[in-house]
Amino acid sequence: MTTEARAELTLRGLILGVLITVLFTAANVYFGLKAGLTFATSIPAAVISMALLRAVRGSTLQENNIVQTVASAAGTLSSIIFVLPGLVMIGWWQGFPYWTCFVICVLGGVLGVMYSIPLRRALVSQSDLPYPEGVACAEVLKVGSGAHGTGVEETRAGLKALLWGSLVSGAFSVLTATRVLASDVVRSFRLGGGVTLFDLFLSFALFGVGHLVGLWVGVAMGVGALIGWLWGVPHFSALSGDLASVTDANMGAFALATWSHKVRYVGAGAIGVSAIWTLGKLVRPVWAGLRSAVVASRARAAGNAQLLPRTEQDIPIGIVGLVSILCILPAGVLLGRFLSSSVLAAHLGWLVVSGVLYIAVMSFLLSAVCGYMAGLIGSSNSPLSGLGILAVIGYGLLALLGLQGLDMAQAGPALVAYALIVTAVVFANAAIANNNLQDLKTGQLVDATPWKQQVALVVGVVAGAAIIPPILDVLNKAYGFVGSPGPVRAQPLAAPQAGLISALAQGVITHNVDWSLILQGAGIGALIIVADIVLRRLKPGAHLSPLAVGLGIYLPTQSTLMVVVGAVAGFLYDRRAERSARPEATKQLGVLLASGLLVGEGLLGVLIAALVAFSGKDFPLSLVSDEFAAGPAVWLGAGVFALVVYLLYRRTGRALR
């Protein structure tokens, strides 16, 4: 057993992790609302930490691991944006009340940390799950910890790739804000008796997401986009009977309205059946993992805890239980305060009890499922949004069981808002559990102490919870959200998952959801599942993720097409890297470049949003006329984007020669 003293859970490491958290969480919140996708922050945080702590005496590999753990937890918590904006979209909130949002994030996030602790032995230590991001982050930490030689060279090259990506994507965001370069290429057209459109968003961040998720996930999202926009939108727009009034000027708006009111529910059905299929496949391994965790816990309780290797020392299970209770009980207080000031006060008892039990039980189930899925396919590919859909539908149906005869015309809006708050706590738990075991896998590979990482995860949750509400408020004031009541904004944020989850909550509770659309999507999802099974057998390594296809259907093309482009470009970059002298290191530089592209655009997006919010103008930095922005700027923007992508990849691929 190793017992030597070493720097690991240090104050400087926690402070550095929190500072990185502010940057990456702001970027993730903005980008998630704009495009419906978030990015993993572990690897870029690790690279920044290694670069800064290298000059500090006594810094260690394990201390760098703590920094990335803090930043990773907070970055993952930003996935709460898949639920909370729904309260603004349904008109219940006008903004984001700071303390309410903070408490939701902290209670759900800390509960996620606690629930994942009993799963660590079963799903990490005694499991052969691949944990792709966790293993990759461990490799980056190991390479960067070298005191000399290739470790130093590769760390410096990685930091340069991260910085170049951030600077270039940030600069491009500023230029698009001036409208000298267009931000997207949009075309609408008639097809099959209906109308449709495509919107190629010139986003370096979306391009970076494509590189990170890989070729087959990108292909699956592309298939979903084809189903949604070459079949769904033309089909349902043709059935609407309103085509006579559609002109070239309003064709794009009509296509978007058709997608919003029809096609995205088809996507919800596809995501729902895909999530159920995925969960069904996980029942046996998750149950086996839980049994293993219980057996291991009993064995530790019967022995001497001091004799355990450092790498097997978790936060004691008694403390885990106490902290879990201290999260669940305040959640009941939060729910009770909401109900006491609403028309649902007469039903406070049933709703609080059902809400607290739902949070306690569903959060644990989702912790096990998310932990296993993160280990199997990676945190970035885990179907969090699909689980959020199932969670809100599940609680909506549960709440209605005890509210027979309730006047939904009067109480419906309050019940929808309440269901969203319950779902938000559950979702914060799921988001953190989706990330925690990935970080603990990294820790296992770099000889870290689990309980110290678990403390760092709690610090990351609190830091993320503190920064997320004000960022949400600034973005809401600047842009608003698609479908929100009130005046129409020029550039509303799509927040697609939040819109879909809130719409499904309304549909289930007020009985006005069009189940025929969801059933059509479920049928498409079933066909994709069959196609995925066949493809995996015919071509080992290939797959057609049903969840990614569902995402492609219910996201707008603005959020999907550039991801597909980035996935293909990343695949070509990796193939070229395989012919280099250091193939794995060169591929890792591509990952860091892609991470930088997300960070730069995300941070500048938040700053530009603040300018929009405080100036009251849609384009406060505009330097050109509307005619230039709609004409030459489009071709100029597309050309500059393509050229810069080529130059960035060329430079990154040659960095280690």
- Give the pLDDT of residue 282: 64
Residue 380 scores a pLDDT above 70: no
| For residue 3, pLDDT beyond 50 | no
Residue 644: which H helix or E strand, with range? helix 632-653
The residue ranking higher by pLDDT, 243 or 199, is: 199
The structural domains of the chain, with segments of one domain joined by +, span 14-180+204-619+649-657
Is the pLDDT at 573 greater than 90? The verdict is yes
For the stretch 587-629, pLDDT in tens is: 888 888 887 887 777 777 767 777 776 776 778 888 888 889 8
Could you report the per-residue pLDDT of 101-138, keeping only the tens digit for each?
999 999 999 999 998 888 777 677 766 667 767 777 77
Contacts 24+ apart (CB under 8 A), 572-576: 573/211, 573/649, 573/652, 573/653, 576/653
pLDDT value for 354 = 93
> From residue 9, how far is each of 64, 145, 281, 459 by CA, in Å?
10, 17, 37, 11
Average pLDDT, the chain: 82
- Strands (E) across 27-80 are located at none
pLDDT (0 to 100) of residue 148: 40
- Helices 557-577 and 215-226 pack at an angle, to 10 degrees, of 150
Query: pLDDT for 163-189, tens place per residue?
Result: 898 899 989 989 998 999 988 888 888
**What is the pLDDT, as a whole number, of residue 1?**
39
Within 8 A by CB and 6+ apart from 167, the residues are 596, 600
CB atoms near residue 641 (< 10 Å)? 23
Give tens-digit pLDDT for 46-67. 777 877 887 777 778 888 888 8
Using CA atoms in the order 319, 322, 323, 325, what is the torsion angle rounded to 10 degrees? 160
What is this structure's pTM? 0.76
pLDDT single digits (tens) 501-517: 888 888 888 777 788 88
Percent of the chain with pLDDT over 70: 87
Q: How far apart are CA 250 and CA 191, in angstroms?
A: 15
Question: Does residue 146 surpass a pLDDT of 60?
Answer: no
Where do the H-state alpha helices sit in 179-203?
A: none
What is the reported pLDDT for 303?
56
pLDDT score, position 39: 66
Q: How far apart are CA 598 and CA 30, in angstroms?
A: 10
Which residue from 378, 475, 379 is spatially nearest to 32, judged by alpha carbons?
A: 475
Percent of the chain predicted with pLDDT > 90: 23
DSSP-assigned letter for residue 308: S
Q: What's the confidence (pLDDT) of residue 245?
A: 78
In 3D space, the residue among 571, 568, 582, 598 whose CA is nearest the CA of residue 655 turns out to be 582
pLDDT tens-place string over residues 73-107:
777 788 888 899 999 998 889 889 999 999 999 99
Calpha distance 67→140 (Å, rounded): 13
Lowest model confidence (mean pLDDT) among 200-209, 263-272, 290-299, 376-385: 290-299
Residue 2 pLDDT: 43
Cβ neighbours of 485 (radius 10 Å) = 10
In tens, the pLDDT along 277-308 reads 876 776 676 666 556 556 655 665 665 555 56
Single out the residue of 219, 231, 197 nearest to residue 548, CA to CA. 219
Cα 480 to chain centroid distance, Å, stands at: 20
